[in-house]
Amino acid sequence: MDAPQERRRYPRVKVKNQVELHLSAGTPQRTSIEEISLCGCYIETMFTFEVSTRVDLVIWLNQEKVTAKGIVVNRYPQVGNGIDF
């Protein structure tokens, strides 16, 4: 049996970095990025978001603030979310 084909457009890098997620309503949620690539990331969170939820991300890389607009593309309840940006 063949291995499943990789669907990602860019390679992922394992990281442990803080991210702040902003949704249209509510307070920002702080959590951790586990993996990141040029077009998305995987966040670890107990309180996952529904697929298709739009989020604004604020990522701090050393002293640099990086912002991105994203959309939740997968959900693993009580584990995390995949986000495309």
Give the burial string for 51-72 (b: 16+ CB within 10 Å, else e): eebebebebeeeeeeeebebeb
Instruction: Specify the CATH number for the domain of residue 54.
Output: 2.40.10.220
Instruction: Judge whether 6 lies within some domain.
Output: no
Total domain count for the chain?
Answer: 1
Instruction: Judge whether 7 lies within some domain.
Output: no
Instruction: Judge whether 4 lies within some domain.
Output: no
Instruction: Judge whether 64 lies within some domain.
Output: yes
pTM value is 0.83
Give the pLDDT confidence of 36-74 residue by residue, as tens digits: 999 999 999 999 999 999 999 999 888 899 999 999 999
Q: How would residue 4 be classed by pLDDT, with cut points 50, 70 and 90?
A: low
Domain span at residue 44 reads 17-84
